[in-house]
Chain A
Amino acid sequence: MMFHSADLIALALTFKLASITTFILLLIGTPLAWWLANTPWRFKFLIEAVVAMPLMLPPTVLGFYLLIALGNHGPIGQLVEWLGGQPPAFTFTGLVIGSVIYSMPFVVQPLQSAFRTVGRRPLEVAATLRASPWDRFFTVAVPLAGPGFLTAAVLGFAHTIGEFGVVLMIGGNIPGETKVVSIAIYDHVEGMDYHHAHVLSAALMLLSFVLLAGVYFLNRRLRMVQL
């Protein structure tokens, strides 16, 4: 057996984290991107800056603040505790929260630009064809922004798999709960276990390549149909 069983657990956890994060991001990011693409509000640049901040900040900074906020003494941690729950620091939930924030720009930006490319005209046409706002959003804006959704989902997913700093800060190293692949590889290297670091790294490389190649292939086909 090439893989440690602990490494398999880490791999599975990583993909679970990336999937849940991507799902949540599409759920939150779609309306946010739509709003950003369409609002005439003059201060929308502030929101855009906040969304883009993870691009610039070292993940440790984000992780640090999240650790404080989500921990036993942090506002969110205390709120959750008061509600009868467990503070999310060092839990899988905490990881999801961190990943959602950290990967946000990778989902929101492609969606925003896709919605902007679609433009107002097709939606106006749909309105004159009796489609209500929700109706035209789902039957016109979403299909026309299709390639943007694909890009957003892939970038969000890929970026979550690749993250390290935030996880290290707020997740720690609990097998099956917060120990994702990037942490596991770091552990192996720390422990001079280069063999397993190689196996896990190579597996991640291969998976990433296959995933991205597949998506770009699909994206090209989608665009060919679109244009």
Chain B
Amino acid sequence: MSIEAQYSITRGDFLLDVDFSMPSRGVTALFGPSGSGKSTLLRAIAGLDFHPQGFLKVAGETWQGDGRFAPAHQRPFAYVFQEASLFAHLNVRSNLEYGFKRVPPQQRHISVERAIQLLGLENLVARKPETLSGGERQRVAIARALCVSPQFLLMDEPLAALDEASKREILPYLESLHDSLGIPVLYVSHTLQEIARLADYLVLLEAGKVVAAGPVPQMLTRLDLPLAHSSDAGAIFATQVAGFDQVFHLTHLDFSGGRFAVPGMALKLGQQVRVRIAARDVSLTLEHQGSTSIQNIFPAVVEELALENDAQVMVRLQVGDAPLLSRITKKSAAELDVQPGKQMFAQVKSVVLLA
């Protein structure tokens, strides 16, 4: 099961010309700067706009192509817009039921009650949209989309219109959807932070073209892409809670290259957690330094270097089977003789839990 999309869309002097496929599991992020054509592409996939030069195949079924164009209401997707766009004349429950009622009973996998529970809407069902906060509205919009039991969930920057507090309110729900429903998501965003937290697979779009596509940990650390060169560039790791240090109040997170110790003990044993390590928080040494305040030190192999500016270089290393970025000065790189294949130690000053 996978998704194949080809579109050639001209709008004025903007040309969107893409041909990509993506896994139909997990969260795929369509990432790029504003004006790169992300939303145009998502709307085309949803069937909201008709573009004659298009082809879309999902799980073996063709929705556009071969002389066929299925309009939006016939496609097995659900769509979450940037603005919640709730129906103002209906209360929350009726908003949720709107799509649910229109899906044939044998195709319903998600009940209205389940959607209410997943998005924590129990106390809001009788309310009218105008009485809800921005974050609450978007939660209702997401639940409403789930109520059509979609084969695929399309999300067009669902957090972009929200303030920081509302974003923090919604992100955990989005993360849990991932685990609890297993509905593949195509997520449009221009915020690296959201991608790092939510996405598994990344399609990088620039000026109407797909620049690169691949799993998020690799994409974020590819030195030939702009993502690894932004000021807050960093790597992400999938880890699992392995235990706790009761004395010093630390949590141990295991990954393929070793074990992170992070402050606090709020997580549950066995829980899957994503962590992010900024390139600026990683320093390199030739020997394992015993006398340092840094807890997280891992053997690492240098894979590639790229110039950042006149003074700094970005180094990609392999730790276990995961890539790690380190931004160091050119001077240090020269003094330590950093070059591909070299065995070093990466000192990680700070590990950010993405949960």
Contacts and interface: CB of A to CB of B under 8 A. Distances in A.
B88 A128 contact: no
B72 A124 contact: yes
Interface string B78-116: 110101010111000000001100110000000000000
23 contacts: A121-B81, A121-B83, A121-B85, A122-B85, A122-B88, A124-B72, A125-B85, A127-B72, A127-B73, A128-B46, A128-B72, A128-B78, A128-B99, A128-B145, A128-B148, A129-B98, A129-B145, A130-B99, A130-B103, A131-B102, A133-B73, A136-B73, A146-B89
Contact of B81 (A125, A136, A139, A146): A125
Interface string A73-100: 0000000000000000000000000000
Interface of A: 121-122, 124-133, 135-136, 139-140, 143-144, 146, 226-227
B59 interface: no
B138 to A, nearest CB: 13
A126 B88 CA distance: 12
Interface residues of B, number: 23
A118 to B, nearest CB: 9
Contacts of B78: 128-129
A144 B98 CA distance: 15
A12 B234 CA distance: 80
A226 B47 CA distance: 29
Contacts of B144: 129
Contacts of A130: 73, 99, 102-103, 148
A132 B72 contact: no
Q: A interface, by DSSP: helix, strand, loop or mixed?
A: helix
A60 B73 CA distance: 49
Pick from A129, A133, A140 the residue with the most CB of B within 10 Å: A129
Contact of B102 (A121, A129, A143, A146): A129
Given A127-B73, A129-B144, A144 B79 contact: no
Contact of A132 (B46, B73, B85): B73
Pick from B71, B77, B85 the residue with the most CB of A within 10 Å: B85
B71 A127 contact: yes
Contact of B89 (A131, A132, A133, A143): A143
B48 interface: yes
A127 to B, nearest CB: 4
Nearest to B80: A128
Nearest to B47: A127
A169 to B, nearest CB: 43
B103 A140 contact: no
Contacts of A143: 89
A226 B81 contact: no
Given A127-B72, A129-B73, 16 more contacts: A121-B81, A121-B83, A126-B73, A126-B87, A126-B98, A130-B99, A130-B148, A131-B73, A131-B98, A139-B98, A140-B87, A143-B89, A144-B88, A144-B89, A227-B88, A227-B130
A226 B148 contact: no
Contact of B79 (A128, A131, A132, A146): A128
A226 B72 contact: no
Pick from B77, B79, B98 the residue with the most CB of A within 10 Å: B98
A129 to B, nearest CB: 3
A139 to B, nearest CB: 8
Contact of A226 (B73, B88, B145): B88
Contacts of A140: 87
Contacts of B77: 128
Interface string B19-51: 000000000000000000000000000111000
A28 to B, nearest CB: 25
Nearest to B128: A225
Given A121-B81, A124-B48, A129 B148 contact: yes
Nearest to A130: B102
A140 B81 CA distance: 17
A129 B99 contact: yes
B148 to A, nearest CB: 6
Pick from B47, B71, B89, B103 the residue with the most CB of A within 10 Å: B89
A125 B79 contact: yes
A143 B95 CA distance: 14
A37 B89 CA distance: 20
Contacts of A121: 81, 83, 85
A139 B102 CA distance: 12
A128 B130 contact: no
A23 to B, nearest CB: 24
Interface in B113-160: 130, 144-145, 148
Given A122-B87, A146-B89, A226-B89, A127 B98 contact: no
Nearest to B154: A128
A143 to B, nearest CB: 4
A133 B342 CA distance: 63
B243 to A, nearest CB: 45
Nearest to B98: A129
A4 to B, nearest CB: 47
Nearest to A226: B88
Contacts of A135: 102
Contacts of B98: 126, 129, 131, 139
A132 B46 CA distance: 14
